[in-house]
Amino acid sequence: MSLLDDYADYQSSARHHQQNGAQTSAAAFSSQPQDGLALDVNEFDTDGYIATTLEAEDAPVFSLDTVQFRVPNKIISLAVSNDILVLVIEGAKVLRIKLQEAHSIAEASVPVNPTSLRACNVFLDPSGRHLLLSTPQGESFYYYEGWDAAKPLSRFKNMEVTAVAWNSSAWSSATSSTRTILLGTHDGKVYETELRPGSEKAKRSDIAVHCVAELPVRERVTGLAMEAFPARRKHHLVLITTGTRMYQIVGAADLESQTGDKSAVFEAMLRNGLTNPNFQEIPGMPGPGALTVHHRETRAGSRAQIVATDFAWLTSMGVFFGRLTFGAQEAGDSVVENAALIPYPAPSSSTDISSTEQPSSLSLTEFHILLQYSDRVCALNMLNSKVAYEQTIGSSDETLQGLTVDETKHTCWLYSPANIYELVVTDEDRDVWGIYLSRHQFDMALEHCYNDMQRDM
């Protein structure tokens, strides 16, 4: 189905409001210089982690801090998970930094010509231990914590990995494996694999990979998510996005089976689901296509579960987002509710709306959609679709390269070739009560009140 009608209806009534974002003092890592790395020390809290100078009740909801961290070469890519920050820099080097122990910086090499690695996609698993690196030339490498060098993945030949769906069952697991994960590629294929370190002495990694699906329209896979139904552990949702489509595939995949061939447990589900696919489509020119899913930790008795709650997808027309609701859905059904398409907001500094740039990446917090442009970051409130924050980076000749959220620690990061930024989020729900109150959703408003004055209104 097409979203153009929804877009036209929304655009006729949409209004965009801007709140200026305030900057706090710059954040920093703390470390002793080592092997060409130099780190400036600014302010820290008692745990040695990044801190700001403002009290929580006085701090703005969003503020952009420059991390005072000098690297020996340009940043190619960055990923953060579980308080582990990983940089891939020119010279074919990987830097792995423990944010709670900022003096702990591990350096590893990527086994390619140091001058040839200029661009790559990097994917860090939720535990922060497994790193997958893939180049536009179709070379892929695997790095595990503690190694001196990444290893070529010998079976991943001519595959540019463009998206990864991690396995939520391994988020808090003590196992050294990622368990079953899905990979999307530049040519519209989906693969299944399981990353595990094996012997550190081996020069290559012989990890198996299996093609389990091909998209009916062979576009670049720009986003991929694999989510278990909370009350039906063998039932799964797989979201696949491209520049023009978002596929929803629901079905059974037994990731906990101890028998049979576990290397392709999603093959039947995905092939069946793509035979007569359920998808949303934005016709015309492809959009950025990036997909993000927000998770919350819930408890079922004594067991904690990571449950997907919201999604957002960058299209050519705007941000398509909505709730994920898991119930009795079967193959062909939708799990998306309350979906909406928000046009991209024009920058506050521009008077020419037609020149609006499309964001290149996005992330979700509990109540906001974060959009990263080449020169700024923007936050849209998911409840009222208004611009809650916009901040332009300081240098006119600097280009932002990416945005990532550490879901395990709820921190947000951006980077350019020369700098790392932390987008500090402070009590982002502090004004939510007022939005619910204006909608006469009094129970939700009361739930999000911060003080007696708000409760008495």
**Confidence at residue 350, expressed as pLDDT on a 0 to 100 scale:** 60
Residue 10 pLDDT > 50: no
Give the residue-averaged pLDDT of 371-382: 96
Q: What sign for the dihedral angle of Cα 68, 69, 72, 77?
A: negative
Q: What is the pLDDT of residues 104-133, one digit of tens each?
A: 899 999 999 999 999 999 999 999 999 999
**Confidence at residue 306, expressed as pLDDT on a 0 to 100 scale:** 85
Q: Are 24 and 31 in contact (CB under 8 A)?
A: no
Residue 36 pLDDT > 50: no
Q: Alpha carbon of 363 to those of 34, 246, 312, 325, 367: distances in Å? A: 33, 17, 8, 19, 11
Name every residue whose Cβ is closer than 8 Å to that of residue 397 and which is 6 or more positions away in sequence.
none
**Confidence at residue 198, expressed as pLDDT on a 0 to 100 scale:** 87
361-364/223-229 β-pairing? unpaired
List the single range of 136-140, 264-268, 333-337 with lowest mean pLDDT.
264-268
CA atoms within 13 A on the CB side of 403: 25
Give the residue-averaged pLDDT of 365-393: 95
**Confidence at residue 28, expressed as pLDDT on a 0 to 100 scale:** 38
Residue 432 confidence class, pLDDT cut points 50, 70, 90:
confident
Buried (b) or exposed (e) across 49-68, using 16+ Cβ within 10 A?
bbbbeeeeeebbbbbbbbbb
Q: What is the pLDDT of residues 222-244, one digit of tens each?
A: 999 999 999 887 899 999 999 99
User: Which residue do the tokens 């990995």 mark?
Assistant: 161
Terminal Cα-to-Cα distance of the chain (whole angstroms): 43
* Average pLDDT in the chain: 84
- CA atoms of 330 and 325, how far apart (whole Å): 13
**Confidence at residue 31, expressed as pLDDT on a 0 to 100 scale:** 34
Name every residue whose Cβ is closer than 8 Å to that of residue 304 and which is 6 or more positions away in sequence.
172, 297, 298
Name every residue whose Cβ is closer than 8 Å to that of residue 140 and which is 6 or more positions away in sequence.
132, 133, 134, 152, 153, 156, 159, 161
Give the residue-averaged pLDDT of 179-206: 94
**Confidence at residue 59, expressed as pLDDT on a 0 to 100 scale:** 82
Q: Are 345 and 362 in contact (CB under 8 A)?
A: no
Higher pLDDT, 333 or 71: 333
Residue 43 pLDDT > 70: no
**Confidence at residue 174, expressed as pLDDT on a 0 to 100 scale:** 65
Helix and strand tally (H, E) in the chain?
Answer: 5, 30
Reported pTM: 0.85
Higher pLDDT, 88 or 254: 88
- For residue 279, list its beta bridge partners: 247
- For residue 281, list its beta bridge partners: 2, 245
% pLDDT > 70, the chain: 81
